[in-house]
Amino acid sequence: MSRIFRLGRAYTGLGLFATKPIKRGAYIATYRGRLLTTKEADRRESRGARYMFELNSKWTIDGSPRWNVARYINHSCKPNAKPVGRNGGIVIVAERPIEPDEEITYSYGKEYYEYFLENGGCKCAACRKKRAARRRKLREARKQRPQKQRRATARSRKAQSRKG
Ligand SMILES: [Zn+2]
């Protein structure tokens, strides 16, 4: 198997990283696994099963076997790859050119994102960057506080002079 990626340590665990430049539209991996009815997949998911890839309301791929390398591709809200239907299955293709050592990601979709919003927020690089920017803004807002304190001190001084 000619590998254009390697398994590596990502922020949230393991991830797939490009080892060569990957062109836009290029095939990366197939999402492999047993076909389950979506009903059965939902049942297993509610018991903690992961890596279920829903093809449609009727069929879902159980991608949990380790030999399904596509299961190591993490979610991103700013992905560089995407899943596309091919021959009744799912393949992951590059959505834009990917550089060596870049982590390969695709969007797991709205349902997944909403689940993470309720569970501490999405941990993809794009969302972490957004949260860091928000924290930076908060820090800057806190720096403005000394002015308020100065005003407060002036007020208390006035109050004291009234007393005296
Ligand atoms: Zn995200």
How far, in Å, is the centroid of ligand 1 from the Cα of 97?
Answer: 20
Query: Do 72 and 40 reside in the same domain of the chain?
Result: yes
- Model confidence at 164, in pLDDT bands (50, 70, 90)? very low
Query: Do 77 and 138 reside in the same domain of the chain?
Result: no
Query: Do 109 and 146 reside in the same domain of the chain?
Result: no
Predicted TM-score (pTM) of the model is 0.78
- Kindly report, residue by residue over 30-72, the tens digit of the pLDDT: 999 999 999 999 999 889 888 999 999 999 999 999 999 999 9
How far, in Å, is the centroid of ligand 1 from the Cα of 74?
Answer: 10
CATH number of the domain that residue 107 is part of: 2.170.270.10
Query: Do 118 and 136 reside in the same domain of the chain?
Result: no
* Number of compact structural domains in the chain: 2
How far, in Å, is the centroid of ligand 1 from the Cα of 10?
Answer: 14
**pLDDT above 90 coverage of the chain, percent:** 67
Return d(Cα 28, Cα 78) in angstroms, integer. Answer: 17
Enclosing domain of residue 149: 131-163
How far, in Å, is the centroid of ligand 1 from the Cα of 105?
Answer: 11
Query: Do 44 and 120 reside in the same domain of the chain?
Result: yes
Average pLDDT over residues 11-20: 94
Query: Do 37 and 109 reside in the same domain of the chain?
Result: yes
How far, in Å, is the centroid of ligand 1 from the Cα of 151?
Answer: 41
Query: Do 53 and 99 reside in the same domain of the chain?
Result: yes
State residue 120's pLDDT score. Answer: 78
Query: Do 85 and 21 reside in the same domain of the chain?
Result: yes
Query: Do 159 and 97 reside in the same domain of the chain?
Result: no
Query: Do 65 and 117 reside in the same domain of the chain?
Result: yes
Query: Do 92 and 143 reside in the same domain of the chain?
Result: no
In this predicted structure, the answer to whether residue 119 has a pLDDT above a threshold of 60 is: yes
